[in-house]
Amino acid sequence: MTDVDLAAEKYEKHREAGEILAQVRNEAADRLEVGTGYLEISEWAEDRIRELGGEPAFPVNVSVDHEAAHGAAGPDDDRTVGEQMVKLDIGVHIDGWLADTAVTVDLSGNDELKTAADEALAAALETIEAGVETGEVGAAIEDAIDGYGYNPVVNLTGHGLGHWEQHTEPNVPNRSIPGGATLEAGQVVAIEPFATTGTGKVNEGAAEEIYSLEREGSVRNREARQALDQITEEFKTLPFAARWLDVSRPGMALRRLKQQDIVHGYPVLQEAEGELVSQREHTIIVTEDGCEVTTRLD
């Protein structure tokens, strides 16, 4: 991968998305405290992204305690953050070119679990360069988390980022595996360790506030058609929130679209034993001799 290649327009848009996202992530984390509303912090961060020139790549995830991912505010959500371990997972895109980042804000008094995820991410970034197998990255993550006496969440992974695609190859495990995919220069990848006081597996909960387009289709119901038009034109294949839909009854419209397998939902992912989970995430561009972190402020 030459310097000219890495200066291509798509990488500049990835970098611009990352710069906006790093600023919003830090500002949102600073604003989070006991009593902050889920909807309040989510809408603030999403509006701030737009103010800085980007678009949200997916609804802000506010996942607490045993929730690992996909916690999100619904329309008129009145929940507030308590003395909890809070994960903020935020994404930005510029013309469909993505950045994805997450941070744990610990209000529960379990700082060491937060530190384990932070250190696991740092260890992973040190291993990355073109030619490295993802199993080696996973081993670095697992070793760092194990060093604190916790377990990695093994059925969640880091992932590639494509054009209008939040999850692409390669998957980057959070534990040691034999081999794995070989990283290539120019790949844009989200490295995403999760640490837990539990055994290290998540399952699906009942709550669901995030959706994405599964396939194109047609529906008779007028509101569902209006919602589908907005989804295909504005969000394309990226995840979206019910509260983003410009229809009077978004819940009904989504139910119609789900019944026909036109959209699918993302249930909250929670630690199988109800144990605490921490998370940290950066987006990187793989280079021949390392990586460029797009979501880290200088």
Catalytic residue positions? 89, 100, 159, 167, 192, 281
In whole angstroms, give the CA distance from residue 74 to residue 70. 12
Q: What is the DSSP letter of 243?
A: G
DSSP characters for 9-38?
A: HHHHHHHHHHHHHHHHHHHHHHH--TT-BH
Which amino acid is it at 256?
Answer: R
272 within 8 A of 199, measured Cβ to Cβ: yes
**122 CB-near residues (< 8 Å, 6+ apart):** 144
In whole angstroms, give the CA distance from residue 152 to residue 171. 15
β-pairing verdict for 282-287 and 263-271: unpaired
Please state, as a whole number, how many other Cβ atoms lie within 10 Å of the Cβ of residue 267: 15
What is the Cα gyration radius of the chain? 19
In whole angstroms, give the CA distance from residue 157 to residue 174. 6
67 within 8 A of 141, measured Cβ to Cβ: no
Residue 22 — φ and ψ, nearest 5°? -60, -40
H/E run at residue 73: none
In whole angstroms, give the CA distance from residue 123 to residue 229. 43
